[in-house]
């Protein structure tokens, strides 16, 4: 029974993403996010909408952080992602639209939605530099449907997905606001930093 208990614990820890609802809520605060052609919505609501599945997939990153992501049920093109550190503290949020399966297996040209984009939200701009390479690799994996072996027969498809230019926007949640707490985050853009190093989309293979 002891061995079985440890085995069940390991399975549970593997399935459960290291993400607490309270940590997500603290990080998002009362920020409001506006996507093109959509009404403004609370940022937390948008992130939760794209993570309404269980269990949430997650992978450890080379820098020691963990990337957690999900989908909106019945509409996988609406995705969200969260980066947490080893203590479970949120480092970055992402609202992802229109990239999932943007390069189907039987196609050679991408088929991204017209408004395809990744919108990132941070409180510390250093979080962008620390995680951007992994997020670009995750985007390529999403474009491929998370089901390719980049170190094997699918290496060419992985390279093709990495070359697809997905718009990435970044915003700072901690910038000064006229009304403290109620921030339209689109008013505080951040430039994307130049980053070195490369993460393979194969890291996120499911």
Residue in the block written with tokens 């939760």: 48
Q: Is residue 179 classed exposed, middle or buried when 0-12, 13-18 and 19+ CB atoms within 10 A define those classes?
A: exposed
> Where do the domains of the chain lie?
6-203
- What 7-13 contacts at long range (C-beta under 8 Å, 24+ apart), as own/partner pairs, is none
- pTM of the model as a whole: 0.88
Percent of the chain with pLDDT over 90: 65
Please tell me the number of Cα atoms within 13 Å of 195 on its side-chain side.
Answer: 19
Q: What tens digit of pLDDT does each residue of 92-112 get? A: 999 999 999 999 888 878 989
Q: What tens digit of pLDDT does each residue of 154-182 get? A: 899 999 999 999 999 999 988 766 655 56
Residue 79: pLDDT over 90: yes
Residue 12: pLDDT over 70: no
pLDDT at site 13: 47
Residue 71: pLDDT over 60: yes
CA distances from 147 to 83, 118, 120, 170 (A): 21, 20, 24, 27
Residue in the block written with tokens 């820890």: 13
């Amino acid at each position: 029974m002891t061995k079985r208990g440890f085995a069940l614990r390991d399975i549970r820890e593997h399935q459960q993403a290291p993400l607490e609802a309270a940590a997500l809520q603290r990080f998002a605060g009362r920020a409001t996010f506006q996507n093109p052609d959509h009404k403004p919505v609370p940022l937390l609501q948008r992130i939760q909408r794209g993570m309404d599945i269980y269990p949430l997939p997650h992978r450890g990153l080379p820098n020691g952080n963990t990337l957690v992501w999900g989908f909106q049920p019945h509409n996988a093109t609406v995705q969200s992602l969260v980066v947490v550190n080893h203590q479970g503290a949120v480092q970055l949020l992402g609202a992802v639209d229109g990239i999932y399966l943007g390069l189907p297996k039987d196609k050679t040209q991408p088929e991204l939605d017209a408004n395809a984009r990744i919108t990132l939200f941070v409180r510390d701009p250093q979080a962008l530099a620390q995680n951007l390479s992994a997020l670009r690799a995750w985007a390529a994996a999403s474009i491929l449907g998370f089901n390719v072996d980049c170190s094997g027969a699918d290496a060419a498809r992985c390279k093709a997905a990495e070359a697809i230019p997905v718009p990435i926007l970044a915003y700072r949640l901690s910038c000064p606001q006229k009304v403290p707490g109620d921030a339209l985050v689109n008013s505080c853009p951040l430039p994307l930093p130049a980053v070195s190093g490369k993460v393979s989309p194969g890291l996120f293979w499911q």
